[in-house]
Structure 1
Amino acid sequence: MATLNNDTSRDVTADQKLRGSGAIHVIMGPMFSGKSTSLLRRIKSEISLGRSVAMVKSSKDTRYAKDSVVTHDGIGFPCWAIPDLMSFHDIFGQDAYDKLDVIGIDEAQFFGDLYEFCCKAADDDGKTVIVAGLDGDYLRRRFGGVLDIVPIADSVTKLTARCEVCGQKAFFTLRKTCDTKTELIGGADVYMPVCRKHYVNNRIVIKASKKEWDSDKERAKPCVEAVDADPSSIGY
């Protein structure tokens, strides 16, 4: 009985050492601010210290490579592309997961279970989780769960880009198209980093362009209907 008590005591002590020994570090900012670059730098630093590392990203992001985290400068690192974070444990495997020290998460705004996963990985499993993602969308509203994990983070780094219009610090992401979907994955062809002044000014221009585009579509409708009603009007 004494042996059983001693074994149980050792298990509890080991569990207590593991639980709460993890950490959560958040890297956020607008597009083109170097979030993925900063994430990879920290991951490589952890590897140099001899720690076991795994990188994950959303399977939605297929811009540069399906199975790699790739920066806008073309620097890549192998990763697991998964639909949700809570599935990572099963996909990676129990034994491999137990040996992990650090988990890097890129494009974290696309994971709906980010908060749940970070709590479990850091608080219960003792992992260091390094998260990189957008804090706001193109309308400067919260994007995904990145802001939700700020209260449970050990550190938060807010990066800035360079405004493409004036060269000043850019805090916001401007969408250059009139598409209104929240999740519209793209690069420099769709987005640009801008300062506050040029975010506001360019949003006015984009709104005006969208209004004109919608107006043109409305004016075109009667013409389309007329052609559908009278095929001979096409002039064959």
Structure 2
Amino acid sequence: MDAPFPSPPTHYSFYRPLQRLQVPPIPISQRSRISSLDHCGTASMASFKSSISMNNSCDLHGRTSGEVHVIVGPMFAGKTTALLRRIKSKGSTGSNIAIIKSSKDTRYAIDSVVTHDGMKFPCLALPDLLSFRQKFGDDAYEKLDVIGIDEAQFFEDLYDFCCKAADHDGKTVIVAGLDGDYLRRSFGSVLDIIPLADSVTKLTARCEICGKRAFFTLRKTKETQTELIGGADVYMPVCRQHYANGQVVMEAARNVLESYKVKSDSFIEATSVVQ
């Protein structure tokens, strides 16, 4: 037989047997005070639970909470198509819907959101979002369930509008816009609403040069301002490799054009002197 397990050494404190603590009795003079404190604590907890119940009741019988969904990607990635698909899906289930776009976007139509392949949907074109309720009408706004926002990068008040519409007014807001400009820098306030979003969808296009997945937008013209409205005549979707190569090519082209301009100006000045 195996040897019996040795007894633990007595100097280890965790081997010592537990000792019952002797708690002195509470004096009679203090018992009423403790009872009073316990009653106050119970009353406070009951009041707290009552307030929670009241808040839950307001959520159940009052306005429902809203949502924010964000669709981003480069140009020609199908952002507007995805927005319209979701909006129409909500409308088919009985939701009251409306779409807003920036009044800066006049490429296809003023009063419609139009995809690059011709799909369109009526909208309200506005310079800012916070004026939407006034333009749309208070009664009509109250009945709205879903609000779509196209070309969201052009709205400076995008964050404030999404907070108010979703958090306070109970609306579902579906936002579509560019996450970056042609320099791959944050464009407008689209990235600012990511922390507010219930979901974020990043779409890709096809590189116009090689056909691979395109994450970036390359500007084909020499203009350098951030906001330049245009379509395929101004922009094209490209992969990482051809974005980097394209920037080099575009910079070289700009330098060549600039040199031609300098030479042309010099020739005109020389001709003027001769005459």
Q: Which runs of 4+ in 1 moved over 6 A?
A: none
1:152 matched to 2:189? The reply is no
Q: TM-score, normalised by structure 1?
A: 0.89
Counterpart of 1:5 in structure 2 is: none
**Structure 1 position 165 matched with structure 2 position 201:** no
Cα displacement (A) at 1:215: 1.6
Can you list the C-alpha shifts for 1:186-235, whole angstroms capped at 9, x where unaligned? 111111100000111111100000011112212222223344556xx3xx
2:124 counterpart (77, 80, 86): 80
Q: Which residue of 2 aligns with 1:49?
A: 93
SS at match of 1:199: helix
1:151 maps to amino acid: P
- Which of 221, 224, 227 matches 2:268? 224
Greater RCO, CA 8 A, separation 6+: 1
Which of 237, 244, 255 pairs up with 1:200?
244
Query: Which structure 1 segments of 5+ residues have no match?
Result: 1-8
Q: Deviations over 1:145-198 (max 9, x none)?
A: 000000110000000000111111000001111111111111111111000001
Between the aligned partners of 2:60 and 2:257, the Cα distance in structure 1 is 61
Q: 1:99 to 1:204 in 2, by over 3 A?
A: same
Structure 1 segment 75-114 matched on structure 2, within 5 A: 75-114=119-158
Percent identity over paired residues? 67
TM-score, normalised by the number of residues in structure 2? 0.77
Q: 1:13 is matched with which residue?
A: 58
- Structure 2's unaligned 5+ residue stretches are 1-53
CA distance 1:184–1:16, change in 2 (3 Å): farther
Q: Which has the larger radius of gyration?
A: 2
| Paired residues, number | 221
Secondary structure (helix, strand or coil) at the match of 1:178 reads coil
Structure 2 residue 147 is matched with structure 1 residue 124? no
SS in 1 for 2:84: helix
- In 1: Cα distance, 2:224 partner to 2:131 partner: 30
Structure-2 separation of matches of 1:154 and 1:213: 47
- Closer, same or farther: CA 211–15 of 1 in aligned 2, 3 Å: farther
